[in-house]
Amino acid sequence: MLSETRIVLRNLGRIDPVSVQDYQKQGGYGPLRKALSMKTEEVIAEMKRSGLRGRGGAGFPVWKKWSFTASAQSGQKYVICNADEGEPGTNKDRVILSGDPNSVFEGMAIAAYAVGADRGFLYLRREYPYVAPILDQALENARAEGCLGKNILGSSFSFDIEVISGGGAYVCGEETALIESIEGRRGEPRFKPPYPGVSGLYGRPTVVNNVETLANVPVILQRGGEWFSGIGVPNCTGTKVFTLCGNITQKGVFEYPMGTNLRDIYETHGGVKDNFDLRGFMLGGQSGNLINAGQMDLSMDIDSCQQAESVLGTGTIMVIDDRNDILDIVQNIMSFFIEESCGKCTPCREGNIRILEILRRISGGEGRMEDLTLLEDLAGMMNVACLCGLGQNSSVAVITSLHNFREVYVKAIERGRRA
């Protein structure tokens, strides 16, 4: 049985989310005060020592992102909190924001100080309209206490945060699409480079960090990067907030050190429900991978997952029991990407549709063995040719299910042949 290591979720259920006083009683805004007494380079150096990597899926080192923006010359810089949590099977950011919004605001303020920004945006997905009033109230209280706004905590540093609503588009989780959306346009990803760190919102240097990433920042400042780097595994430090969903007995949001074994998480939370059998997992969301029940001895950290042709992503663990058909799930996933493709680049706009056609052909008994190669080719092409992460990863579920559940495809094709 595992027990949680709560860093990000440190205050969850222990404070009134909108009360800045409650947050301060738990040590909140002390780290910001500490940061303001440090040189900006020292703040970034502390982040480097911590080894913190982005928690939104890509795992980019946070200190590097910050240092790009810090060294960019501009009179105006921005910090954006990416709260467009669209990855199906992930709802950790909603839990963090509605349970402890100040931890995210404080992380944003520390980032802003480190890079020299004075304006912040929190891009909240429209599917969470009920979180917005919590954020608005918490912001108002934090300003009244001098923790945000002009001359924060009596210093010469000023920074404020505005909540911006999303419009219901998965692709806006991609940072340049998110920026396009804040700029009042369709959320279509930009060509990179330039990266937002140098040229982001309104062409200005912009740090874009995920909710969970930012909630880690105050604790790192408070307890030190070295302490943080002792949690988790080398090169992937700290904890991960996992969303457990699907056919598992105990669903919910749980925080474990990076590198925790998937089997231990699965067993701690009661395994599959109602005496069904485990068929497999969808890890990292719908842009993540499908693994079978025999593959669950997996270290849940960014690098180990990658080495195992898997993905940690946003920390989704969706359990699939034997009532479900893998081919049906893969088709569901492809319909999602057809719906959510922004249409800007052809490989994604067309490729997802063609993949679903082939999948339907196979499950409808019209498949051929050559289709399996065709699927691999098409998915491989999209992975290299698509502009953004959406298209590059939309067929990961197809590829990984072809590898990890190949018999399902072969059976469907053979069944069709006999008929």
Partner 1 sequence: MHSIAGEDYFITPAAEKRITELASRYQNEPEQLMNILLDIQKETANSFPRSVAALVSRVTGIPEAKLYGFVSFYSMFSTKPRGRYVVRMCHSAPCHVCGAQGVMEAISKTLGIKPGETTRDGRFTLEYCQCLGVCENAPAIMVNETVYRNLTPGRAATLMEDYQRGDMKEC
Q: What is the closest distance, in whole angstroms, from the C-beta atom of residue 202 to partner 1 in the complex?
A: 8
Taking the CA atoms of residue 206, residue 207, residue 208 and residue 212 in that order, the dihedral angle to the nearest 10 degrees is -160
Give the DSSP letter of residue 53: B
Q: Would you call 25 helix, strand, or coil by DSSP?
A: helix
Q: Closest CB to partner 1 among 50 and 243? A: 243
Planar angle of CA 82, 84, 86, nearest 5 degrees: 135
Q: What is the closest distance, in whole angstroms, from the C-beta atom of residue 158 to partner 1 in the complex?
A: 19
Q: What is the closest distance, in whole angstroms, from the C-beta atom of residue 191 to partner 1 in the complex?
A: 19
Give the residues lining the site for partner 1 (CB under 8 A): 85-91, 94, 121, 125-130, 162, 164-170, 181-187, 243-247, 251-253, 282, 286, 316, 318, 320-321, 324, 329, 332-333, 335-336, 339-340, 342
Would you say the C-alpha torsion 358, 361, 362, 368 has a positive or negative sign? Answer: negative
Give the DSSP letter of residue 224: -
Q: What is the closest distance, in whole angstroms, from the C-beta atom of residue 286 to partner 1 in the complex?
A: 6
Cα separation, 357 vs 304, whole angstroms: 33
Q: Closest CB to partner 1 among 62 and 291? A: 291
Q: What is the closest distance, in whole angstroms, from the C-beta atom of residue 1 to partner 1 in the complex?
A: 20
Q: Closest CB to partner 1 among 31 and 187? A: 187
- Point out which residues pair with 299 in neighbouring strands: 261
Burial class (CB in 10 A: 0-12, 13-18, 19+), 24: middle
Q: Closest CB to partner 1 among 236 and 398? A: 398
Q: How far is CA 62 from CA 56, 85, 199, in A?
A: 11, 19, 17
Q: Closest CB to partner 1 among 29 and 121? A: 121
Q: What is the closest distance, in whole angstroms, from the C-beta atom of residue 267 to partner 1 in the complex?
A: 18
Q: Closest CB to partner 1 among 63 and 281? A: 281
* Cβ neighbours for 114, distance < 8 A, ≥ 6 positions apart: 35, 40, 43, 44, 47, 66, 70
